[in-house]
Structure formats: C-alpha cells, structure tokens
Amino acid sequence: MRHTTFRQLEIFEAIARMGSFTRASEELHLTQPTVSMQMKKLTDIVGVPLVEQVGKKVLLTEDGRELAQASRDIFAILDRYTMSVAQRRGLEKGRLKLMAITTASYFAPRLLGEFSKLHPGIELSLRVTNKEQVLASMADNLDDLYLLGTPPEEIDVVATPIMDNPIVVLTAPDHPLAGQQGLTLARLAEEPWIMREAGSGTRKAIERLFHDHGLDIRPRLELGSNEAIKQAILAGLGISALSCHVLALHQPGQFAVLDSEGFPIQRHWYAVYPAGRQISVVARAFLDYLLDQRGGSVCSPEGGQDCCGAECERQGGAALVTPVTPVAPRPAQPARKG
Ligand code: PGA
C-alpha cells in the first residue's frame, strides 16, 4: 500500500461514495480515462478487486468497503491537521464543507459568500441535496456542518437555530383568494394543492397543520422542486405553501401571500452536526458568524429587500423576518438533541 497516492485514494473514495466512475470524475474534474487508470493502479497495488460493476452501478467488494473507510479516516486526520495549522494561523487558511437541504439553497450561498469575504483564505464547498444524502453524509462524517429545516431524529445531533423559516401560502396574484382577509384552513383545503415530494420538511409541516385541524389536503400535483412549484402556481394549477425564502429573488407582486388561519407556519433553520463530533475551528467560526447574523435581515437577498416583498408586509411581514426567538424546542446555543 505504500506506493498508493493520496490522489488514488481520493478518487476511490469519490467512486465509493457516489457509486459511479462518471460522477466521481465530474466531482474531481478529471477525465474518465484518468479515473479508470488510477483505479486500476490502486487495484494492482492492493492486489484484490475493490469494486464490481453490476449493470451501470459500481458496487464495493468487502475489501473495497474497508479501504473506503480507511480512506475517509485518512482524509479526516489530514483535515484535522489542516485545521490545527489553521488554528495556529488564525482563520487565514482552512476548509469548510457544508451540506444544505434543498430549500436552504436559497440563502446558504449568500451566507457563505459573506463569510468568505471575511475569511478569503478559507476553501469552501457547499452541496445541496435531499434528506437521505444528508443522513448518509452525517453517518460517514463527510461534511462539517449541515443546514436543515428539521434536525434528523435518526442520528444524535447538535442543532442550533440560526434563522426563521416561515412557510407562507402562495397563489398567483390574480387568484380569487388573493387579497381576502382571514381565510380559514377549511377554505384552503378546498383548493387544489401543489405539494413538494414526500419526505420534504416543508410538506410535512403543511400536512401536520391541516391534520391538527382535522383536515386533509389532496395534492393535485406533486413536484420535487420549489422552482417547479412556483411555475405551477403562476400557471394557475393550484396553490401551495413554501418557505418564505423561495421568494428571495422575486419582485414584490409576482406572487400573492394569502392571509390565512394557521399561516405562516413558524419554523426555523438549523445548523447541525453530529453529537460528539469536535467541529473544526473554521466550522465553529462559521457557526458563530451565523449566530451573529440572526439579528439581521436574514431573508434579505440583494439590496436589503426582505424576501417576501410587499405581500409579506401585508401579512405582518415584520414577524416573518424578525430574528429567531431562542425558545423551545431548541436552545439558542448548541445543545445535544434529545
Ligand atoms: P425541504 O426543506 O425538505 O422542504 O426542502 C427543509 C425543511 O424545511 O425541513
């Protein structure tokens, strides 16, 4: 194994994680022949098969699984070393690996961009993905921090609320309910709804609200992206409720935010990491930065407009964009989830 290079282990780790030579080569910005050649060299050095091809999928052999874990351990040790050097040199250098659940992509890049201006030497990576991959990444210790709307129940985590995540009911501006005051949930339940996919935190929050009022909504359409839902709303296919943050780059007036009983559903965004994990100096600095930002206009995209525009103002928008109140169920400071 002494002739193995870190590059080969890095390539192998990416293949092991993604189950695909093509995706590994894309992530590492390498050509596929380079990835295949390095894998062949690694396999020759180890002397046993590390992967097997089943159809289009690349599966790990038992030896492969062990090497994938060993590679992750090696890179974790090197990351810790890099971090301790960074600690000695302040925050001049270092790396921050962030993973965000789909809807967090509307604000995470902006926060990272601002943090990066304060610490230009820090190398940043942000992956936006679904809950399943978040859990897999946490289990394998792949990222430093996770931005989520719902801290996972499956893993013991430290979850810190970092900002409000109000869920508002959206329609096209010319919808008959737009502008009506004091709508009831029963009235909303009569409308055709466009819902996010099963498993989405936004969807669960909406279903829970209606369920708690003894009501059911029947989705007319189920779409896996906030952007697709916004298009469907504007096409007059129905109404939906989404995080206020998805309006970040829209002009006020493009959507109507309904004034209804039960809405906005007040949720929070959390910065999460596995309990018991020593987070890096850089991750700690980013978390502190997020906590400092809580008093600011967290929805603000560019130019200081709040994310919901004039409609949210009408609906009591001040309450939608005020700093998160550090109340139960999560404390303001990191605490073990439990
Ligand atoms: P999403 O958002 O799963 O609906 O994208 C995260 C959450 O609000 O829990």
Q: Can you tell me which atom of ligand 1 is nearest the CA of 201?
A: 9
The CATH number of the domain holding residue 215 is 3.40.190.10
- d(CA 121, ligand 1 centre) in Å: 31
- d(CA 293, ligand 1 centre) in Å: 21
Tell me: do 197 and 313 sit in the same domain: yes
- d(CA 147, ligand 1 centre) in Å: 10
Q: Do the domain assignments include residue 6?
A: yes
Q: Do the domain assignments include residue 333?
A: no
Q: Do the domain assignments include residue 77?
A: yes
Whole-angstrom CA distances from 299 to 103, 229, 323 are 13, 20, 10
Q: Do the domain assignments include residue 98?
A: no
- pLDDT surpassing 70 at residue 321: no
Query: 33, 56, 89: which is the final residue of a domain?
Result: 89
- d(CA 77, ligand 1 centre) in Å: 32
Q: Which of 131, 133, 134, 243 to mutate to test the pocket of ligand 1 (most atoms within 8 A of CB)?
A: 243
Q: Do the domain assignments include residue 215?
A: yes
Q: Which of 32-36, 164-168, 279-283 has the lowest mean pLDDT?
A: 279-283
The CATH number of the domain holding residue 45 is 1.10.10.10
Q: What percent of the chain is modeled with pLDDT above 70?
A: 86
Identify the residues whose C-beta falls under 6 Å from ligand 1: 101-103, 149-150, 196, 200-202
Tell me: do 85 and 173 sit in the same domain: no
- pLDDT at position 53: 86
Q: Can you tell me which atom of ligand 1 is nearest the CA of 203?
A: 4
Query: 89, 121, 140: which is the final residue of a domain?
Result: 89
Can you give the residue range of the structural domain that contains 212? 167-267+295-328
- d(CA 204, ligand 1 centre) in Å: 9
pLDDT per residue as tens digits for the range 90-140? 677 788 999 999 999 999 999 999 999 999 989 999 999 888 889 889 888
Token output for 46: 């180890």
Q: Do the domain assignments include residue 286?
A: no
Tell me: do 212 and 310 sit in the same domain: yes
How confident is the model over 290-316, as a mean pLDDT? 47
**Beta-bridge partner residues of 169:** 241
Q: Do the domain assignments include residue 126?
A: no
Tell me: do 208 and 301 sit in the same domain: yes
Q: How many structural domains compose the chain? A: 2
Tell me: do 82 and 178 sit in the same domain: no
Q: Which of 99, 135, 197, 200 to mutate to test the pocket of ligand 1 (most atoms within 8 A of CB)?
A: 200
- d(CA 208, ligand 1 centre) in Å: 14
How confident is the model over 255-262, as a mean pLDDT? 96
pLDDT band (50, 70, 90) for residue 306:
very low
- pLDDT surpassing 90 at residue 11: yes
Query: 71, 89, 107: which is the final residue of a domain?
Result: 89
Q: What percent of the chain is modeled with pLDDT above 90?
A: 63
Tell me: do 316 and 210 sit in the same domain: yes
Q: Which of 150, 203, 244, 268 to mutate to test the pocket of ligand 1 (most atoms within 8 A of CB)?
A: 150
Tell me: do 177 and 311 sit in the same domain: yes
- d(CA 226, ligand 1 centre) in Å: 10
- pLDDT surpassing 80 at residue 73: yes
- pLDDT surpassing 50 at residue 144: yes
Q: Can you tell me which atom of ligand 1 is nearest the CA of 243?
A: 8
HEC string for the chain = CCCCCHHHHHHHHHHHHHCCHHHHHHHHCCCHHHHHHHHHHHHHHHCCCCEEEECCEEEECHHHHHHHHHHHHHHHHHHHHHHHHHHHCCCCCEEEEEEEEHHHHHCHHHHHHHHHHHCCCEEEEEEEECHHHHHHHHHCCCCCEEEECCCCCCCCEEEEEEEEEEEEEEECCCCCCCCCCCECHHHHHCCCEEEECCCCHHHHHHHHHHHHCCCCCCEEEEECCHHHHHHHHHCCCCEEEEEHHHHCCCCCCCCEECCECCCCEEEEEEEEEECCCCCCHHHHHHHHHHHHHCCCCCCCCCCCCCCCHHHHHHCCHHHHHCCCCCCCCCCCCCCECC
Q: Do the domain assignments include residue 281?
A: no
Tell me: do 175 and 317 sit in the same domain: yes
Predicted TM-score (pTM) of the model is: 0.68
